Amino acid sequence: MTGTASPAIHISGAAALQDETRSPVPSTQREGLTVSMLINGQPYQFNIDSRTSLLDLLRDHAGLTGTKKGCDHGQCGACTVLTDGRRTLSCMSFAAMNDGWEITTIEGLSSADGDLHPMQQAFIDHDAFQCGYCTPGQILSAVACVEEGHAESDADIREYMSGNLCRCAAYPNIVAAVKQARNEMEKA
Amino acid sequence: MLPFDYERASTVREALAACAGSSEMPPTGAPSQFIAGGTNMSDYMRLGVTRPSHLMDINLIQDASLRTIEIGSLEIRLGALVRMSEVEDHQEISRRCPMLPESLKVAASRQIRNMATLAGNVLQRTRCEYFREISWPCNKRNPGSGCSAMDGFNRQHAVLGVSDACIATYHGDFAQALIALDATVEIAGQGANRRIRFAELHLQPGDNPEVETVLRPDEMITAIVISVPGWAARSKYLKIRDRESYAFALASTAVALDLDGDIVRDVRIGLGGVASVPWRAVPAEDVLRGKIFSEDLASKAADAAFANAKPREHNAFKVALGKQTLVRALMEVREMKL
Ligand SMILES: Cc1cc2nc3c(=O)[nH]c(=O)nc-3n(C[C@H](O)[C@H](O)[C@H](O)COP(=O)(O)OP(=O)(O)OC[C@H]3O[C@@H](n4cnc5c(N)ncnc54)[C@H](O)[C@@H]3O)c2cc1C
Ligand code: SF4
Ligand code: FES
Ligand code: FES
């Protein structure tokens, strides 16, 4: 994985709650953590507590609530985003670890003029959801799944999409949607 | 989650130096801990199971060898920060030793495998539900408090390498392929660097289940080195679970078979989902080596593998399932066309 390499930094996101008795840790900044990233092509900078997950940063600090919190423990895939083009779980990453990275959320998938991404359109065409809660994660995961070349067969799609659970069990329609979008993405 | 200071290392030395103050064993209890992919660490920190006050992010260490896959004629060297998905997709490794990428492909989900590192993967902590939920007594999380799983709901728990203090399963898949191939771990330390056999990395629970590995807090895994014999092309990873994907193993096996006609010249067997640590089934290998392969022999080997099993109330099925899994894997690798 590559990222913006930065020199060692010593920062504390927990200054206020620091326990005086514990062993000293290198800590030269105490006013919180500054994190910069490119989200959906826009540069952002945040001042955050070190505990902030990438998911909470996106939802609460950037106001991008399209990324959903299902379990907050890596077990459902609702929080899937693309980090430098690869699908990851935003609930399992501390926001500070994403400093300098490029994040794509569901809000950044359609083109600037508002045209839906072929995967978004395919989900609509195939009615690949009911409540829609898992859908942003499904769509981002599916885009990456096609780009990885892991959407060649139904079995592959099921296996490589297994990290995205759907409580409404829209699975057959999701597979159909991924196939349609795959064909269009490959043509493009 | 308890507050912590976040720091980013740019060299291995820097990472080690920051964790040097903590003489406390084990690393998982130290005030200063490493974070790599974060998929295990963030989970256990959020649950309050792991409580470092200082987190050292090792992802941006400049040393490129940490991120490199090196394929030699005899050895494969995998840098500690290589992501699971990179090895999963590696054609050459797949050709030389299918069980390595297979063991990664069936682990977790693609999103997690894009984040998780190989070193973090082998060091992942148990999924014992009582360990994860901090209101329960647990000797591993809170030494001396008792083991809630012993007479609790222990369906997921281990039957091999268990103790009176802890019966937690080691849930990793990749480690079973590594132990079968007798891989080596390269470790950077404050004082000196060392190399150990992968088989020596994890410790059975014994009386101190809180001590999970031989690593000190100021030591870092830098690489995993695997010598891959030519015959490892005849290998596979078979994983049995409650659902077909995105679930931990109930029983699994990494098997490599060296055949001379029907005679077993050599064989390597790792067992997952059933033991407290990555598990090499040496007694099963001994039953097979030098004999004419048959289903009956495979089944005798499976009996030997589980001869010392210590099942509890809800996990006795793992003995039968573990044996079946091993027999099936052996039969399937025998049939592989190379
Ligand atoms: C829902 C879910 C399902 C999963 N299913 C499976 C499965 O089926 N099979 C499977 O095998 N795994 C499974 N996993 C576990 C997953 O594979 C691990 O969480 C992951 O591999 C850990 O790697 P990481 O780089 O994210 O580690 P981290 O979380 O960053 O670190 C894990 C531990 O290793 C230490 N560490 C990391 N790197 C080093 C180093 N270089 N030197 C010394 N110490 C280090 C850390 O301090 C920490 O204690 C699952 C996880 C989740 C959340
Ligand atoms: S099995 Fe081990 S980890 Fe689980 S409750 Fe018992 S002591 Fe804790
Ligand atoms: S919210 Fe991240 S996987 Fe469920
Ligand atoms: S559409 Fe409801 S959870 Fe998937």
pLDDT digits (tens, 9 = 90+) for B36-76: 999 999 999 999 999 999 999 999 999 999 999 999 998 99
> Which pLDDT value is given to residue B169?
98
Chain A interface mutation, best of B1, B5, B22, highest count of A Cβ atoms under 10 Å: B5
pLDDT range class, residue B24, cuts 50, 70, 90: low
* Mean pLDDT, residues A73-89: 98
Is B309 within the bounds of a domain?
Answer: yes
How far apart, in Å, are the Cα atoms of B273 and each of B173, B205, B256?
A: 8, 16, 18
Is B156 within the bounds of a domain?
Answer: no
Last residue of a domain, one of B56, B73, B89: B56
Of B46, B85, B111, the CB nearest to A73: B46
Chain B interface mutation, best of A11, A93, A97, A166, highest count of B Cβ atoms under 10 Å: A97
Is B255 within the bounds of a domain?
Answer: yes
Which residues on B lie below 8 Å from A72 (Cβ)? 46
pLDDT range class, residue B18, cuts 50, 70, 90: confident
Is B197 within the bounds of a domain?
Answer: no
pLDDT at A126 over 80: yes
pLDDT 10s digits, B103-143: 999 999 999 999 999 999 999 999 999 999 999 999 999 99
Size of interface A-B (CB pairs under 8 A): 135
Which residue segments constitute the domains of chain A, with CATH numbers given? 31-108 (3.10.20.30), 118-187 (1.10.150.120)
Answer whether B55 sits within 8 Å of A50, measured CB to CB: yes
Chain A interface mutation, best of B41, B110, B133, highest count of A Cβ atoms under 10 Å: B110
Answer whether B7 sits within 8 Å of A8, measured CB to CB: yes
Is B250 within the bounds of a domain?
Answer: yes
Residue nearest to atom 14 of ligand 1 (CA): B108
How far away, in angstroms, is B114 Cα from ligand 1 center? 12
Answer whether B14 sits within 8 Å of A8, measured CB to CB: yes
Atom of ligand 1 minimally distant from the CA of B36:
30
> Which pLDDT value is given to residue B161?
98
pLDDT at B152 over 50: yes
How far away, in angstroms, is A72 Cα from ligand 3 center? 5
Longest dimension (CA), chain A: 63
Indicate which CATH number applies to the domain containing B297: 3.30.390.50
pLDDT range class, residue A112, cuts 50, 70, 90: confident
DSSP secondary structure letters along B196-250: EEGGGTB---TT-TT--BS--TTEEEEEEEEE--GGGGSEEEEEE-SSSSSS--S
Judged by its nearest atom, the ligand closest to the C-alpha of residue B176 is 1
pLDDT at B260 over 70: yes
Contacts of A12 (CB under 8 A, 6+ apart): A18, A25, A27, A29, A30, A33, A50, B5, B6
> Which pLDDT value is given to residue B302?
98
For chain A, how far is it from start to end, CA to CA, in angstroms?
A: 27
pLDDT 10s digits, A49-80: 999 999 999 999 999 999 999 999 999 999 99
- Kindly give the interhelix angle for B317-335 and B295-305, rounded to the nearest 10 degrees: 140
Domain containing B50 equals: 5-56
Answer whether B5 sits within 8 Å of A80, measured CB to CB: no
Amino acid (1-letter code) at residue B321:
L
> Which pLDDT value is given to residue B338?
86
> Which pLDDT value is given to residue B23?
64
Of A5, A25, A72, the CB nearest to B32: A25
User: Chain A closest CA to B220's CA: distance in Å?
Assistant: 17
Is B135 within the bounds of a domain?
Answer: no
pLDDT 10s digits, A133-178: 999 999 999 999 999 999 999 999 999 999 999 999 999 999 999 9
What is the average pLDDT value for chain B, to the nearest integer?
96
- A150 part of contact set with chain B, CB < 8 Å: yes
Amino acid (1-letter code) at residue B86:
E
Judged by its nearest atom, the ligand closest to the C-alpha of residue A171 is 4
For chain B, how far is it from start to end, CA to CA, in angstroms?
A: 51
Residue nearest to atom 47 of ligand 1 (CA): B34
In testing the pocket of ligand 3, which one of A72, A83, A87, A167 has its CB within 8 Å of the most ligand atoms?
A72
DSSP secondary structure letters along B142-186: STTS-BSSTTS--TT--SBS--SS--PPP--SHHHHHHHTT-EEE
In testing the pocket of ligand 3, which one of A53, A56, A91 has its CB within 8 Å of the most ligand atoms?
A91
Q: Is the CB of A158 under 6 A from ligand 3?
A: no
Is B328 within the bounds of a domain?
Answer: yes
> Which pLDDT value is given to residue A156?
97
User: Chain B closest CA to A42's CA: distance in Å?
Assistant: 23
How far away, in angstroms, is B123 Cα from ligand 1 center? 6
Q: What does the alpha-carbon distance between residue B225 and residue B198 come to, in Å, rounded to a whole number?
A: 9
Q: Is the CB of B116 under 6 A from ligand 1?
A: yes
In testing the pocket of ligand 3, which one of A59, A76, A83, A106 has its CB within 8 Å of the most ligand atoms?
A76
pLDDT range class, residue B21, cuts 50, 70, 90: low
Indicate which CATH number applies to the domain containing B29: 3.30.43
Is B171 within the bounds of a domain?
Answer: no
What are the b/e assignments for A56-80, b being 16+ CB within 10 Å? bbbbeebebebbbbbebbbbbbbbb
Tell which wins on pLDDT, B5 or A10. B5
Number of structural domains in chain B: 2
pTM for this entry: 0.94
- A30 part of contact set with chain B, CB < 8 Å: no
Q: Is the CB of A129 under 6 A from ligand 4?
A: yes
Residue nearest to atom 9 of ligand 1 (CA): B107
Q: How many residues does chain B have?
A: 338
- B176 part of contact set with chain A, CB < 8 Å: no
